[in-house]
Amino acid sequence: MQAKLTHNKRERSQIGGGTANIQELSKFEENAAELTREDRDHSCGEGNARVRGQAGLLSERRGSYPVIDFRLLNTTAHSGEIGTKKRVKRLLSFQRYFHASRLLRGIVPQTCLHLLDEDYLGQARHMLSKVGRWNFDIFLFDRLTNGNSLVTLLCHLFNLHGLIHHFQLDMVKLHRFLVMIQEDYHSQNPYHNAVHAADVTQAMHCYLKEPKLSRFLSPLDIMLGLMAAAAHDVDHPGVNQPFLIKTKHHLANLYQNISVLENHHWRSTVGMLRESGLLAHLPVESIQDVEQQLGSLILATDISRQNEFLARMKTHSDNRDLSLEDADHKHFILQIALKCADICNPCRVWNMSKQWSEKVCEEFYRQGDLEQRFQFEVSPLCNQQNDTIPSIQIGFMSYIVEPLFMEWSRFTENTPLTITMMSHLRKNKARWRGLLLKQHNSEDNSAQMNEDKSRTSQEVEHQ
């Protein structure tokens, strides 16, 4: 059956208003937004330049790995004399090549599930039979699939939702596309790797099943939602946008400091989609529509645009004027669903939520170390000494996660899934608060002990 695709040419990611309450921005948003806010203010009201000009849409060459250019870091005016020649040479030579090469990074296609022990496969298959449950353990699934959680999960979900049949997809091409996506995530990133992508995809699958949304979704909407979730962070360099801007990275220049990473994720996805030929049998207009909608969804994950989306969502909920029969409204809810899936870690059960928190902080601290090493100002949240995991998490939950999920629960009208997520969110926050208190107490105690010690030694000296 020839697939039917709708041909919507709207500039879908244009969000009205732009009246974000900047005063309420926490340093979390500032971290991501500080270098882009001005640009954004200019771009909000004039149509979305980011997704315009689809006729001339350029994809990025696959594997255009955004390596951090240490030469630029080393010659920045305010960096001064840093690092020895030997060290720079080392960074520029093998190590740099090591990180840039997918093969040397140890990422070789390992999608041959038949190489796995039958027992592991059986367990992975059993897990997939419960893929719609919120307590799905993606870390265990990744181990059971020998690091192929993203490919295995996506193949299963495409089949489950009938997408392969509906769009007459070639299984070999689908597999090739998914392997390319999985390989282009950087396994050395503690957080932004293929397991995070698989986790977001599993969450997206759960959200697409929400009754308020699911009855309006076409096969195209489902395919776009899953694809965007799988590819939304592809080729992430493990540092944030402000870092790329201040180190004058070529991607920052290419995308003029606007949604630099998200644009790169999108254009890389388009490149892989074309290279795999997955949709080559569809009409050109349909392919263009898929590429544009993927862009609009992936660009929505830019955390510096959080208030923009939140304001529109609030207005819709207050006015009760969301109509999912309207294609624009439906696309907006898909954007919100993807945003929720992307930051749903604090809504997971504690032992998984905690692992994600540790991983994301490890990535922040690595950036902080790099900034320190090259004498840049350390970015907010990236200073291991001052920014502890509990304090980062409590801030993240209060200023980013809770406001978005409050709106999501208003939309879904408290389904069992929403109730479960909100309950985890509350409990997890209480646990981080407990840990923060413990940490403060132990700091107070050690300060008191140091004070007592110095007083005792002074007394001894006086005797």
Residue 339 contacts residue 362 (beta carbons within 8 Å): no
Query: Which among 66-74, 336-344, 380-388, 392-400 is the span making contact with Zn ion, rule CB under 5 A?
Result: 336-344
Q: Percentages helix, strand, coil for the chain, rounded to the nearest 5?
A: 65, 0, 35
Query: Which among 13-21, 25-33, 306-314, 342-350 is the span making contact with Zn ion, rule CB under 5 A?
Result: 342-350
Pick the closer one to Zn ion by CB: 203 or 282. Answer: 203
Show Cβ contacts of residue 436 under 8 Å, excluding neighbours closer than 6 positions: 388, 390, 391, 394
Show Cβ contacts of residue 391 under 8 Å, excluding neighbours closer than 6 positions: 436
- Which residue type sits at 410? R
CB of 194 to Zn ion, least distance (A): 11
DSSP 354-408: HHHHHHHHHHHHHHHHHHHHTTPPPPTT--TTT--HHHHHHHHIIIIIHHHHHHH
Query: Which among 100-108, 308-316, 337-345, 415-423 is the span making contact with Zn ion, rule CB under 5 A?
Result: 337-345
| 192 in active site | yes
- 196 assigned to a ligand binding site: yes
Pick the closer one to Zn ion by CB: 175 or 196. Answer: 196
Applying the rule CB under 5 A, the residues between 300 and 329 that interact with Zn ion are none
CB of 231 to Zn ion, least distance (A): 10
Pick the closer one to Zn ion by CB: 210 or 342. Answer: 342
Applying the rule CB under 5 A, the residues between 261 and 290 that interact with Zn ion are none
CB of 297 to Zn ion, least distance (A): 12
Residue 239 contacts residue 261 (beta carbons within 8 Å): no
- 257 assigned to a ligand binding site: no
Pick the closer one to Zn ion by CB: 204 or 282. Answer: 204
CB of 308 to Zn ion, least distance (A): 18
Please name which of 107, 108, 124 lies closest in space to residue 116, comparing C-alpha atoms: 124
Query: Which among 40-48, 89-97, 253-261, 339-347 is the span making contact with Zn ion, rule CB under 5 A?
Result: 339-347
Applying the rule CB under 5 A, the residues between 223 and 252 that interact with Zn ion are 233
Pick the closer one to Zn ion by CB: 290 or 341. Answer: 341
- Site for Zn ion contains 407 (CB under 5 A): no
- 114 assigned to a ligand binding site: no
**Active-site residue, selected from the candidate residues 99, 192, 249, 265:** 192
φ, ψ for residue 453 (rounded to 5)? -60, -45
Number of H helices, E strands in the chain: 23, 0
- Site for Zn ion contains 342 (CB under 5 A): yes
CB of 238 to Zn ion, least distance (A): 12
Show Cβ contacts of residue 100 under 8 Å, excluding neighbours closer than 6 positions: 65, 67
> CA–CA separation, 156 vs 205, rounded Å?
11
Show Cβ contacts of residue 402 under 8 Å, excluding neighbours closer than 6 positions: 425
Q: Which residues are annotated as a binding site for Zn(2+)?
A: 196, 232-233, 342
Interface residues with Zn ion (CB under 5 A) are 233, 342
**Residues taking part in catalysis:** 192
